[in-house]
Every structure is written in structure tokens, then in C-alpha cells.
């Protein structure tokens, strides 16, 4: 009827310290991404498709960490690590849906940069308001039915041994490890779903950036190439951080999974990436910095 999230219980002397660290990280994610959303809504210079998708990404990051960190903080504060079967399934379902949304949203942002750099004259026509809203809504909802089905399949397994999940949230690999009997079919289904989503989004991203790089290299001036690269480098860095850490978790052979390293790797794509996203986009983007200065000057 319930599971036990072991989390970082092996670090018994550091529970208070870990609570403070994760609470501080959570506040950084909330404040940083909320500031991006506010700036893109208030500043006229940021009323562009690029920043519309950036605001969507920031909203997603807030939801993403809110699925995981508050529960982790409660566990660290109360030392009561019990989580009901339904709560665990709900957490995993929202985590998977938001993870799929991030994959598709990063692909849409890459396509937006492709149109802006490779077809600048058609950019206002192709990326009009209606198209932007449709792409954003599609990114949010396209993975919902698949991830609900995947969650239902995983929690239809028989759990007849230990109920202790050696992780800080309900993720697929540690939950499947608790199941009895042959789980190869379920593991194969997980790999197929992850592979399909990753392949579609990575192909779009790679295709977009191959065209972008080809176009940038043909620009006549060094300043033009530098400006074009600067508008893409932030997004590309976020893509590498997210897909790199997630792929290590979900594409590693089962024999190489170990609770300690798995937790550290999971921290990157669940907490560290959402922290760095607003920093990367604000520190490397002159428009965002200018909007922030105007907001602070008015205050």
C-alpha cells in the first residue's frame, strides 16, 4: 500500500544540511525562472517568439522541480519517508509528462532558431502568434497519453518483496527493480518510449543546428557570425545538460545501475539544469539583461 523513499538516509548526520541546500536550490529555481517569466511578459523588447518559448520553458522548470523537491524537503524535515502507492504513481506520471514536454519544447526552440537565422525574411510569417501557441500547447500535451500509459504499466507490476525505493523520488528504474518476476517486457517498453521521444526531438535539434551552423559560416562578417552564434549557444548548452544527464540514466545497461551514482546523475536533470537555465539565458542574452536593468531601475 506504500513505498519508502530512502533518499539520502545513508547520510544521517547531514539531514539538516541537505534540507537547507535543497531548499536554497528550490528557491533559486522558483525566483530565477519566475523572473524570466515576468520579464518576458512586461518588456516590449522581449515580445518575440524566442522569449515566448523561453517563458514556457521557465514555467515548465518550476513545475518540474515542484513535482520532486517539496516531497524531498518534507522527507528530510520529518524523517518520515513513507509515500503511498497512489502518491508515488502520481509523482512518476507528472515527472514523465513534464520530462517529455521539456524534450519537445527544446526541439521547438531549436526550430525557432533555425527559422530566425536561416529564413529571416519569412520568420514573422512562419512563427506568427498562432503558430507559436500551437507549438507550445503541442509540446505540453503530446506526451500526456503516452506517459499515463507508461505509468499505469509500471504500477501494474507485482511488488511482493521490499517496498524501499533507493532514490529521492519515484523514478522508473528503481521502481522496476522492486518488481517480482520477469520485467523484461516492461523495461523494453520503457526503452522504446524513451527512444522514440529522444530520437524525434534530437533529430529535430540536430537537423536545425546543422542548418544553422551552415548558414552562420556563410555570413560575410565576423560580427554577424558572433551575434548569430550567441543567440543559439545558450539553448544548445541547455540541450546538452538536459539530454546528456537524462540519457546516462535511461540508456545505461541495467547491470551498471547503482543507487549512489544514479542519485547524483538524477540531480543534474531534475534540479541542477532548472537552476542553470535562467542563468544561462540571462547572462548570455543582452536583451534579457537590458530588460532586467530596466525593471530594477524602475523599482
* 167 CB burial (10 A radius; 0-12, 13-18, 19+): buried
pLDDT in tens, 195-240: 888 889 989 988 988 888 888 887 777 766 776 676 677 777 777 7
Per-residue DSSP letter, 256:
G
Confidence category of residue 156, pLDDT binned at 50, 70, 90: confident
Q: What end-to-end distance do the CA atoms of the chain give, in Å?
A: 52
What is the spatial distance between Cα 113 and Cα 231, in angstroms, rounded to a whole number? 8
Residue 77 CB neighbour total at 10 angstroms: 12
Strand ranges in 88-192 using DSSP code E only, listed in sequence order = 164-165
pLDDT of residue 298: 65
Confidence category of residue 43, pLDDT binned at 50, 70, 90: confident
pLDDT in tens, 228-243: 676 677 777 777 777 7
- What percentage of residues in the chain have a pLDDT greater than 90? 26
Strands 82-84 and 2-5: antiparallel
Strand ranges in the chain using DSSP code E only, listed in sequence order = 2-5, 82-84, 164-165
pLDDT in tens, 101-120: 988 998 999 899 889 888 88
What is the spatial distance between Cα 114 and Cα 124, in angstroms, rounded to a whole number? 13
Residue 169 CB neighbour total at 10 angstroms: 22
Bridge partners of 206, per DSSP, are none
What is the spatial distance between Cα 293 and Cα 299, in angstroms, rounded to a whole number? 10
* pTM for this entry: 0.87
Contact 19, 76 (CB under 8 A): yes
Q: Which domains are present in the chain?
A: 2-298 (1.20.1070.10)
Amino acid at each position: 500500500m506504500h513505498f519508502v523513499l530512502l533518499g539520502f538516509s545513508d547520510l544521517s548526520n547531514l539531514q539538516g544540511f541537505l534540507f537547507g541546500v535543497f531548499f536554497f536550490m528550490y528557491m533559486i529555481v522558483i525566483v530565477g525562472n519566475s523572473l524570466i517569466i515576468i520579464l518576458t511578459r512586461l518588456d516590449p523588447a522581449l515580445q518575440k517568439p524566442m522569449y515566448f518559448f523561453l517563458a514556457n520553458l521557465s514555467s515548465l522548470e518550476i513545475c518540474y522541480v515542484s513535482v520532486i523537491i517539496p516531497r524531498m524537503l518534507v522527507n528530510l524535515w520529518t524523517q518520515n519517508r513513507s509515500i503511498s502507492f497512489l502518491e508515488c504513481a502520481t509523482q512518476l506520471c507528472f515527472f514523465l509528462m513534464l520530462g517529455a514536454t521539456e524534450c519537445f519544447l527544446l526541439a521547438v526552440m531549436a526550430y525557432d532558431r533555425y527559422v530566425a537565422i536561416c529564413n529571416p525574411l519569412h520568420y514573422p510569417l512562419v512563427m506568427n502568434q498562432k503558430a507559436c501557441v500551437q507549438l507550445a500547447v503541442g509540446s505540453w500535451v503530446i506526451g500526456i497519453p503516452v506517459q499515463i500509459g507508461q505509468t499505469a504499466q509500471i504500477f501494474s507490476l507485482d511488488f511482493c518483496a521490499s517496498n524501499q525505493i533507493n532514490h529521492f523520488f519515484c523514478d522508473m528504474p528503481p521502481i522496476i527493480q522492486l518488481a517480482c518476476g520477469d520485467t523484461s517486457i516492461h523495461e523494453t517498453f520503457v526503452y522504446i518510449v524513451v527512444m522514440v521521444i529522444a530520437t524525434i526531438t534530437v533529430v529535430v535539434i540536430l537537423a536545425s543546428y546543422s542548418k544553422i551552423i551552415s548558414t552562420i559560416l556563410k555570413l560575410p562578417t565576423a560580427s554577424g557570425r558572433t551575434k548569430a552564434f550567441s543567440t543559439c549557444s545558450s539553448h544548445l548548452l541547455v540541450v546538452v545538460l538536459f539530454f546528456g544527464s537524462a540519457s546516462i540514466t535511461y540508456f545505461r545497461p541495467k547491470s551498471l545501475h547503482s543507487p549512489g551514482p544514479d542519485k547524483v546523475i538524477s540531480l543534474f536533470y531534475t534540479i541542477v539544469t532548472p537552476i542553470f537555465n535562467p542563468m544561462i539565458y540571462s547572462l548570455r542574452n543582452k536583451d534579457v539583461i537590458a530588460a532586467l536593468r530596466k525593471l530594477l531601475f524602475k523599482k
